[in-house]
Amino acid sequence: MQMILKIKTPDQKGLIAEITRVIFEFNLNILKNDEFVDKENNLFFMRSEMEGDCSIKSLQKAIRALLSPQANIEVFEAKRKKIVILCTKENHCLGDLLIRYDSGELNADILAVVSNYTLLEPLCQKFNLPFICIPSENLTREEHETKVLKVLERFPSDYIVLAKYMRILSPNFVKRFEGKIINIHHSFLPAFIGANPYKQAYERGVKIIGATAHFVNNALDEGPIIYQDITKVNHAMSWKDMQKSGRDVEKIVLAKALNLALEEKIFVYNNKTIVF
């Protein structure tokens, strides 16, 4: 059995020694171990990939006994996760995930795809995935989200992936899935927050555009950033050209960020991420 241990706790001398001693006493082999000390906030972060056989509950209890009451400790079996994808009309992020899913590269099961339009239904059907269209016309934001929530309840998942889902989620919705919603924003945040970042980038005359995968929080495009990448642009490109080129960045950035989440390599903290 492979397990993952994630700890966030006030820093103090001897922490690594004590924690790894317990791991050793449980007869576990550490496959990969990462630590980080945030000196500014005196916090210690640790993530261990371990192999062996033990009761996860007992291990957690033993580590809990070592650490400060403020410590945040997670131990779990490393296993295939479940995701639900939300999208709107663009197929590149969804399609990229589907192709990874089809080859087995994606280390997750896609339970369902939810969209406010029907456009991507045929694509999902090709891959035999439940596609649920929830049009937003004539609905308040609340009414629409209530319907989306019902679908998400039918398909309980580890992560909700916004693969170019062009609607803003309400604080209530977001709070319910804190740290579980991954969005791809089509700009190099914090540049060009909000609508049509490619048009904004074109108008500002930037020479580089980018994409940002982040966890969603209540402030639009201001959640903790997981991964970013960029591509060069020039004066000869229209904003449509930038959009076309940017889509290649978007899909790779989203896939990389999702993969980090699926491997439980991310700590969220102070609206930032620690990525091991």
Instruction: Name 212's bridge partners.
Output: 185, 228
What span, in angstroms and rounded, lies between the C-alpha atoms of 258 and 264?
10
Composition of the chain by helix, strand, coil, percent to 5: 35, 30, 35
Two structure tokens written together for 255: 């896939």
Answer whether the bond into residue 197 is a cis peptide, omega within 30°: no
Q: Which residues bind a second copy (CB under 8 A)?
A: 13-14, 16-17, 20-21, 23-24, 27-37, 39-40, 90-92, 95-96, 98-100, 102-103, 105, 123, 126-127, 188-192, 204-208, 210, 224-230, 232, 234-236, 238, 244, 247-248, 252, 255-256, 270-275
State in angstroms the smallest separation of the CB of 141 from a second copy: 27
From the CB of residue 4, how many other CB atoms can be counted at a distance below 10 Å? 19
Q: Which is nearer to a second copy, 93 or 152 (CB)?
A: 93
Q: Which is nearer to a second copy, 102 or 143 (CB)?
A: 102
Measured CA distances, 25 to 22, 80, 154, 232 (Å): 5, 27, 41, 52
**Residue 170 and residue 195 in contact, taking contact as beta carbons nearer than 8 Å:** no
Q: Which is nearer to a second copy, 83 or 211 (CB)?
A: 211
Residue 102 designated active-site: no
Catalytic residue among 38, 102, 109, 221: 221
For tokens 């998942």, name the residue: 157
> Which one-letter DSSP state was computed for residue 261?
H
Ramachandran assignment for 161, one of left (phi > 0), alpha (psi -120 to 50 degrees), beta (any other): beta
Q: How many helices and strands in the chain, by DSSP H and E?
A: 8, 13
State in angstroms the smallest separation of the CB of 223 from a second copy: 10
What span, in angstroms and rounded, lies between the C-alpha atoms of 90 and 33?
39
State in angstroms the smallest separation of the CB of 169 from a second copy: 20
Q: Which is nearer to a second copy, 113 or 152 (CB)?
A: 113
State in angstroms the smallest separation of the CB of 274 from a second copy: 4
Q: Which is nearer to a second copy, 26 or 144 (CB)?
A: 26
Amino acid letter for position 195: A
State in angstroms the smallest separation of the CB of 248 from a second copy: 5
Q: Catalytic amino acids?
A: 221
